[in-house]
Amino acid sequence: MAELVRRTARGTGRFLAAHGLFLAALAGAVALRWIAILGFPWIFWFGDSRTYLNAAIQFAPDDLRPSGYSVFLWALRPFESWTVVLAVQHALGALTGVMVYAIVWRGLRAGRPRWRPWAPGLVATPVTLPVLYDAYQIQLEHMLMSDGLFTFLLTAGVTLVLWRRRVSWWAAAPAGLALGAAAMVRSVGLPLIAVVLFCMLLRRAGWRALVSVVAGVAVPLLLYLHWFHGTWGVHTFTKSDQIWMYGRVVDFARCDVIKPRPELEVFCMDHVPPRPRVPARAYQAMWTSDTPFRHFPEDKRSVRANELAGEFVKEAIAKQPGDYLNVVVRDTLRAFEWKREDYPTPWTVAQYDFPVGASQSDMQRLYLDWYTNGRPVIHRVVEPQGAWMRDYQHTFYLRGPFLGIYMLVGLAGVLLRVRRLGGPVLLPWGIALALLVVPAATADFDYRYLLPCIPFAVLAAGLTLAREPRAVAHAPARSGPEAAGEPEAADAPETFDDPEAPDEPETSEGPEAAEESEHEGQRA
């Protein structure tokens, strides 16, 4: 018994020495989220919230947006508590930071096995701070929106793919499940699946791992298609994919250049004057009385409107490719500006701030109470916690230029590993880049779309600092006094390939020995 206590104490001491700094940072991040729940005990409403909540209560997919987040809300509804929903969403945000830390720590430990046990944590902890402490991340976790769940699922999938030097089929399958589920939460997840598969191919992950990822992805996608068909009679994810793309091209489309056929002229908005208080042309075309979809019986939910909008989109891009590229580049670069603009509208940006008071319509209260089966919901700001979070948000968030620095550091990591096709840095950096560009290319710019990019940008930058392990881990064991004082290379987790050694099958001295290393990773 005494020996067990001593071993437990030694193990605990080693764990705290290795991860104590991060545990302190994590505790502070959890405390911030708890203060947010105390100060704002209700969930924040956004324009899309009614769609998600209605689909959750009726357990029927919406035809306008993917309803994976609604399944999440449906699963939590038996608790009849918005506090539970908030706690889970904030926990997912904190766990996202844990996964970023775990991957960076393993990379540093693998590449620098001679470091002191506490050194990798000392480097990896600051990398996670934008994920754990960004005020807008915390505020987004407090909203009735899908972004937090999407970011967690996507990070979980990438974590499983990067966890070992060569992903095994049994890790690839749950990675695929997480990636497929993320795509059903937000449609931008669909092209990100292709990014993951492409990076796995470059890294020669092996056919078993690739098949396992594809099979894992297919499960939630096929289940969702079946669910959607049961409600709407068609096998698809939404009936509005082209409508959002129309909001992108309306920013530059000129009908005197496109010359659309008469049935498509309803989508011409170059003759409609801009609204002074609506900077985003896409918002004006989609959500004001100027929208062309008012001419269709079901507005944006019209199948015919979606088909015609898609035809207009194709003609606009084909006739004005330079203008399309210009708006994509322009809106992508907005992410790196120092000051936040009132874009797409001032009231949209205002919804991303912790409020001074609670202001909800009767309809919103009705839906919120409907979800909890009539259990009372507190609709007021509790001070001083509310003021603490408002003051915190004024200062502590990742400004655009710093996001740009993270992206540049990650790009440097990819280029430095060009002989290894980007190494482990390529996957998170590619995901971060896609999360910046795809919304700008398919919808419009919104500051909310930036936040899922941050974990992957900082992860890529952190992995850039991790030196890839050399072939010493595969060297024959030596005996004698000269070897007694050297640390075992196998003690380091084998996360990444050796850039100098040729690819070879793993031996019994590889991952098995790595499992005995002194580390603590977060399960995805």
The 8-class DSSP code of residue 423 comes to G
| d(C-alpha 108, C-alpha 142), whole Å | 33
| d(C-alpha 120, C-alpha 127), whole Å | 11
* Helix and strand numbers, DSSP H then E, in the chain: 24, 0
Structure confidence at residue 112 (pLDDT)? 72
Which amino acid is located at 503 in the chain?
A: D
Tell whether the model's pLDDT for residue 302 goes beyond 80: yes
Domain ranges of the chain: 2-159+346-428+447-464, 241-336
Contact 35, 86 (CB under 8 A): no
Residue 335's alpha-carbon distances to 163, 223, 281, 332, in angstroms, are: 29, 35, 18, 6
Q: Which contiguous run of DSSP H or E holds residue 153?
A: helix 147-162
pLDDT tens digits for 403-449?
A: 999 999 999 999 998 888 778 999 999 999 999 999 999 999 999 99
pLDDT tens digits for 32-64?
A: 999 999 999 999 999 899 999 999 999 999 999
- For tokens 């030596």, name the residue: 478
Can you give the pTM of this predicted structure?
Answer: 0.88
Q: Which contiguous run of DSSP H or E holds residue 179?
A: helix 169-185
Least confident range of 112-116, 209-213, 461-465, 490-494: 490-494
- Tokens encoding 72: 């999440």
Is 44 in a helix, a strand, or coil? strand
pLDDT band at 372 (very low <50, low <70, confident <90, very high): very high
Look at residues 443, 486, 440, 436 and name the one whose alpha carbon lies nearest to residue 457: 436
| d(C-alpha 74, C-alpha 54), whole Å | 10
Tell whether the model's pLDDT for residue 90 goes beyond 80: yes
| d(C-alpha 282, C-alpha 268), whole Å | 13
- For tokens 């977060």, name the residue: 522
Mean pLDDT for the stretch of residues 270-275: 90
Cβ partners under 8 Å of residue 41, min gap 6: 82, 83, 377, 378, 380, 382
Residue 401: count of CB within 10 angstroms of its CB = 10
Contact 172, 209 (CB under 8 A): yes
Look at residues 242, 413, 252, 398 and name the one whose alpha carbon lies nearest to residue 335: 398
Report the half-sphere exposure of 293 (CA within 13 A, side-chain side): 26
Structure confidence at residue 469 (pLDDT)? 63
Tell me the backbone φ, ψ of residue 41, rounded to 5 degrees.
-75, 5
pLDDT tens digits for 227-248?
A: 999 999 999 999 888 999 999 9
Tell whether the model's pLDDT for residue 478 goes beyond 50: no
pLDDT band at 12 (very low <50, low <70, confident <90, very high): confident
| d(C-alpha 285, C-alpha 267), whole Å | 9
Phi-psi region of 199 (alpha: psi -120 to 50; beta: other; left: phi over 0): alpha
Structure confidence at residue 205 (pLDDT)? 87
Contact 71, 77 (CB under 8 A): no
Cβ partners under 8 Å of residue 247, min gap 6: 282, 283, 285, 286, 443, 444
Which amino acid is located at 260 in the chain?
A: P
| d(C-alpha 154, C-alpha 189), whole Å | 8
Beta bridge partners of 44: 143
Look at residues 110, 61, 141, 191 and name the one whose alpha carbon lies nearest to residue 352: 141
Structure confidence at residue 504 (pLDDT)? 37
pLDDT tens digits for 483-506?
A: 333 333 333 444 444 333 333 333
The 8-class DSSP code of residue 420 comes to G
| d(C-alpha 334, C-alpha 445), whole Å | 8
Mean pLDDT of the chain: 88
Residue 326's alpha-carbon distances to 285, 291, 378, in angstroms, are: 19, 23, 46
Which H, E and C letters describe 473-487, residue by residue? HHCCCCCCHHHHCCC
- For tokens 């049961």, name the residue: 230
